[in-house]
A and B are shown apart, each in its own frame.
Chain A
Amino acid sequence: MKKYLKAGLVLVLALAMVFTMAGCGGSGSSDSADGGAEGGKGGKTLNIWCWNDEFQSRFNDYYPEVKEVADDKSTTTLNDGTVVKWTINPNEGNNYQDKLDEALLKQADVDDEEKIDIFLVEADYALKYVDSDTTMDVKELGLTDDDMAQQYQYTKDIVTDSNGVQKGTTWQATPGLFAYRRSIAKDVLGTDDPDAVQEALADWDKFDEVAAKAHEKGYKMLSGFDDAYRTFSNNVAAPWVDGDKVTVDANIVKWIDQTKTYTDKGYNNKSSLWDDTWNADQGPKGKVFGFFYSTWGINFTLLGNSLETKEDEGGKAEVGNGAFGDYAVCYGPQPYYWGGTWICGATGTDNADLVKDVMLKLTCDKDIMKKITEDTQDYTNNQEAMQEIADSDFSSDFLGGQNHIALFVEAAKNIDMSNAGAYDQGLNESIQTAFRDYFEGKVDFEKAKANFETAAKEKYPELKTFEWPK
């Protein structure tokens, strides 16, 4: 989800980069081959597939064996001479999965050095790969329960297949919070203290009341239609699909009702996630009370959007630049999580030992996990390390000095991912698209339902029946 960043040209550029990378990668690997690679089971190239540079930068910055990074970042050389080759395909429009699927289907036929060793997946479609034999059992790779003892259980549940085998692991946990504008909270509620604001937003009824108050003062409660979606969809009673039957959960319908009310009453700004309006609403001129965001969204997306002068235009991430320092976080009405990236070992890898070591160092090592959080404010998947930071005097300037890690620690305990499924991404997108017309008043409820069903059947021909709550 998080990589729907700024569509279009950025993606085209990124694609262009991938091609250049492929070109440079070849020469890079031949250079270092004579360095004498002894990594893992003999493979000299570690092929990693991902959709943006997030994991790449974590790897380059925190994997202890990194020796040097190519100027164009297309390859990373490790101390033992192994060359890590990065293949980055943007996510938009299913592009990453399409390319990955093609490559995985050919996995058995290609040269050892061409085989994918590691690929990354997101929660929304993790099960698609986890439930197939393209991913390896992490225990088989050599990780033990002890190694992963400090990881959050939900991060293991998402990548556990129907037989109870865990097939991936992650360095981040992504509990969600509600990030609000301190100045607007002061105006509407008379306080910007996170505890007091949480008190005022503790459940959906109270949330609606605050929305009405904010509206009177000329603010919008939320930016767009899909902002609150995850808080509802994460708390459903059953997965989307059972056999060939789609069940639309009562909670999803609650989201539809709430969003329709908010749109009709003018409590939101009619934006969609990642569009211009949505980004602008988070900036200095925004009049939106708050945003539902998980870990990465706060230190990455929200921070970037809040600045008056963006960092690539020479601005600094500091108080005084736009809305930096004007945000704070509270739990919000319901616990949820959003996003997250898992590392999977691909079946057929010729670098099993190295894959294991990457997983061990980048997802199980407490010191590395702690350092990542301290450096980047990302929330990492190590309960002990996070608790230590929560108890310390760690504070975020962006959030006006709040220790948000302490809130994440609490929120992470409430995440329940037992209802995640392989169809989540496609169906979440389809229902958001179909009901957008309903929110905008272009179609009635029944028509939007029909449009959702049509789109779902197009995406997944195996789905036959649809059940809506009474």
Chain B
Amino acid sequence: MKEKKEKAKQLKSVDYSKWGYLFILPFFLAFLIFQLIPLVSTVYYSFFEYYRSGLKVIGPNPVGLANFKALFESDFLKYTGNTLILWVAGFIPQIVISLLLAAWFTDVRLRIKGKQFFKVVIYMPNLIMASAFAMLFFALFSANGPVNHALVGLGILKEPFRFLSSVGGARGLVALMNFLMWFGNTTILLMAAVMGINPSLFEAAELDGCTPTQTFFKITLPMIRPILVYVLITSMIGGLQMFDVPQILTNGKGTPDRTVTTIIMYLNNHLFSKNYGMAGAISVILFIICAILCLVVYFTLNKDDTVHATRKHRGKEARK
């Protein structure tokens, strides 16, 4: 009897672990085929001269760090700057408006009606495909488009403003589109964060005579800091990889004067000749930048936890 039981126990445990591995297998297979192998080959080819001239394939010839050298001798830093400018110009209004909306929507005293409706509406732009959205803006803001017709018709402008031919206009449109697409998403994240704050804190603040502004800056903001950091980092990584909106808005050209050319658009330019070497080098640099940012967020959040933990610990000790 006893033996049988033990045997059964053994079998069972073996069975379980087998199924466990089986269940996680698809993820690892998919990860291996679609992520790890492409990732490794990208890094590998960044050290090679490897492109197509017409239908002739040149390479792969190992060239060491030549691709990286060429990259930093090119206007890579300018495109990094472009990318950051486009991202910041979109992110600042995005975070300000989102914070404001999140504070209003969660304020118990304001009691805004139709909250659900507004949440859906502000999230809407994110549901449209970025490329379709960019096409729409391209048509709306073209020199001959409805926006210019309206501005001239209303007497605001004397003659059409060529949005896509001016640096400010083109960058402004990209920033505006990124803002419109993402502020809804950010608002909902921040609302969740605010609602996660213990309501008694707000009540106590109110009893102590805090003004709404004080409540916002002294309670809401510090309490949602981890989520703010998360929003900042995800938005930054998304911003660094900005591609579809500027690509389609400028017809793939990044004009005027290549000021709307982002890093990924620069990468894409190299794919005209299937230049896997240079494109790989750009990807590697971008990967390093993203990795650094991920480390930053990891340590920021971790530090927060340790501070929290030590405080708790101290509290316990004090009570003793």
A437, B257: Cβ atoms under 8 Å?
yes
Please pick, from A128, A132, A442, the residue contacting B167 in the complex, using a CB distance under 8 A: A442
Secondary structure dominating the interface of A: helix
Residues of A within 8 A of B275 (CB): 458, 461
Provide the bound-state CA to CA distance between A442 and B273, in Å.
28
Take A7-B251, A460-B53, A462-B58 as given contacts and tell me if A276 and B162 are in contact as well, using a CB distance cutoff of 8 Å: no
Produce 1/0 per residue, B75-117, CB < 8 A to A: 1000000000000000000000000000000000000000000
Provide the bound-state CA to CA distance between A436 and B251, in Å.
13
Please pick, from A105, A451, A461, the residue contacting B51 in the complex, using a CB distance under 8 A: A461
Please pick, from B145, B165, B266, the residue contacting A276 in the complex, using a CB distance under 8 A: B145
Provide the bound-state CA to CA distance between A131 and B273, in Å.
17
Please pick, from A104, A280, A451, A459, the residue contacting B272 in the complex, using a CB distance under 8 A: A459
Q: How far is the CB of B260 from chain A (nearest CB, A)?
A: 11
Q: How far is the CB of B74 from chain A (nearest CB, A)?
A: 7
| Contacts of B243-291 to chain A: CB distance below 8 A | 251-253, 255-258, 266, 269-270, 272-273, 275, 278
Residues of B within 8 A of A131 (CB): 54
Report the stretch among B9-17, B136-144, B183-191, B294-302 that lies at the interface: B136-144
Does B135 touch A at the CB level, under 8 Å? yes
Take A128-B55, A134-B55, A277-B143 as given contacts and tell me if A440 and B273 are in contact as well, using a CB distance cutoff of 8 Å: no
Select from chain A the residue with minimum beta-carbon distance to B272.
A459
Residues of A within 8 A of B56 (CB): 132
Q: Which of B162, B253, B278 has the most CB of A within 10 A?
A: B253
Select from chain A the residue with minimum beta-carbon distance to B129.
A12
Q: Which of A105, A280, A454 has the most CB of B within 10 A?
A: A454
| Contacts of A124-140 to chain B: CB distance below 8 A | 128-129, 131-132, 134
Does B166 touch A at the CB level, under 8 Å? yes
Q: How far is the CB of B46 from chain A (nearest CB, A)?
A: 14
B257, A447: Cβ atoms under 8 Å?
yes
Q: How far is the CB of B201 from chain A (nearest CB, A)?
A: 51
Q: Which of A447, A454, A461 has the most CB of B within 10 A?
A: A461
B269, A459: Cβ atoms under 8 Å?
yes
A461, B166: Cβ atoms under 8 Å?
no
B75, A433: Cβ atoms under 8 Å?
no
Produce 1/0 per residue, A84-101, CB < 8 A to B: 000000000110000001
Please pick, from A105, A280, A440, A454, the residue contacting B256 in the complex, using a CB distance under 8 A: A440
Take A9-B135, A442-B166, A462-B58 as given contacts and tell me if A433 and B53 are in contact as well, using a CB distance cutoff of 8 Å: no
B255, A276: Cβ atoms under 8 Å?
no
Residues of B within 8 A of A437 (CB): 165, 255-257
Does A189 touch B at the CB level, under 8 Å? no
Please pick, from B143, B252, B253, the residue contacting A270 in the complex, using a CB distance under 8 A: B143
Take A276-B139, A280-B144, A461-B278 as given contacts and tell me if A93 and B55 are in contact as well, using a CB distance cutoff of 8 Å: no
A440, B165: Cβ atoms under 8 Å?
yes
A104, B165: Cβ atoms under 8 Å?
no
Please pick, from B74, B139, B166, B257, the residue contacting A451 in the complex, using a CB distance under 8 A: B257
Q: How far is the CB of A274 from chain B (nearest CB, A)?
A: 10
| Contacts of A433-448 to chain B: CB distance below 8 A | 433, 436-437, 440, 442-443, 447
Please pick, from B135, B145, B256, the residue contacting A8 in the complex, using a CB distance under 8 A: B135
Please pick, from A104, A134, A443, A461, the residue contacting B257 in the complex, using a CB distance under 8 A: A443
Does A275 touch B at the CB level, under 8 Å? yes
B54, A433: Cβ atoms under 8 Å?
no
Select from chain A the residue with minimum beta-carbon distance to B56.
A132
Does A426 touch B at the CB level, under 8 Å? yes
Q: How far is the CB of B166 from chain A (nearest CB, A)?
A: 7
Does A455 touch B at the CB level, under 8 Å? yes
| Contacts of A381-439 to chain B: CB distance below 8 A | 422, 426, 433, 436-437
| Contacts of B165-203 to chain A: CB distance below 8 A | 165-167
Q: How far is the CB of B277 from chain A (nearest CB, A)?
A: 8
Q: Which of B52, B142, B258, B270 has the most CB of A within 10 A?
A: B258
| Contacts of A67-103 to chain B: CB distance below 8 A | 93-94, 101
Provide the bound-state CA to CA distance between A447 and B78, in Å.
14
Provide the bound-state CA to CA distance between A323 and B51, in Å.
48
Provide the bound-state CA to CA distance between A414 and B164, in Å.
39
Q: How far is the CB of B32 from chain A (nearest CB, A)?
A: 24
Residues of B within 8 A of A275 (CB): 142
Q: How far is the CB of B113 from chain A (nearest CB, A)?
A: 38
Please pick, from A276, A442, A455, the residue contacting B269 in the complex, using a CB distance under 8 A: A455
A462, B162: Cβ atoms under 8 Å?
no
Q: How far is the CB of A365 from chain B (nearest CB, A)?
A: 31
Residues of A within 8 A of B52 (CB): 101
Please pick, from A8, A9, A280, A458, the residue contacting B270 in the complex, using a CB distance under 8 A: A458
Select from chain B the residue with minimum beta-carbon distance to A454.
B75
A442, B54: Cβ atoms under 8 Å?
no
Provide the bound-state CA to CA distance between A371 and B55, in Å.
37
Residues of B within 8 A of A451 (CB): 257-258
Take A104-B55, A461-B273 as given contacts and tell me if A277 and B144 are in contact as well, using a CB distance cutoff of 8 Å: yes
Select from chain A the residue with minimum beta-carbon distance to B269.
A458
B54, A454: Cβ atoms under 8 Å?
no
B58, A93: Cβ atoms under 8 Å?
no
Please pick, from A7, A104, A440, the residue contacting B162 in the complex, using a CB distance under 8 A: A440
A436, B55: Cβ atoms under 8 Å?
no
Q: How far is the CB of B182 from chain A (nearest CB, A)?
A: 23
Residues of B within 8 A of A132 (CB): 54-56
Residues of A within 8 A of B278 (CB): 461
Provide the bound-state CA to CA distance between A134 and B56, in Å.
11
Provide the bound-state CA to CA distance between A426 and B273, in Å.
10
Residues of A within 8 A of B273 (CB): 458-461
Provide the bound-state CA to CA distance between A422 and B55, in Å.
11
Take A451-B257, A451-B258 as given contacts and tell me if A276 and B135 are in contact as well, using a CB distance cutoff of 8 Å: no
Select from chain A the residue with minimum beta-carbon distance to B52.
A101
Residues of B within 8 A of A7 (CB): 251
Using a CB–CB distance below 8 Å, which chain A residues touch chain B?
A: 7-9, 93-94, 101, 104-105, 128-129, 131-132, 134, 270-271, 275-277, 280, 422, 426, 433, 436-437, 440, 442-443, 447, 451, 454-455, 458-462
- 29 inter-chain pairs at a CB distance below 8 angstroms, sorted by A residue, are A8-B138, A101-B52, A101-B55, A105-B55, A132-B54, A270-B165, A271-B143, A275-B142, A276-B139, A276-B144, A277-B144, A422-B54, A433-B253, A436-B165, A436-B255, A437-B256, A440-B256, A443-B257, A447-B257, A454-B75, A458-B266, A458-B272, A458-B273, A459-B272, A460-B53, A461-B51, A461-B53, A461-B278, A462-B51
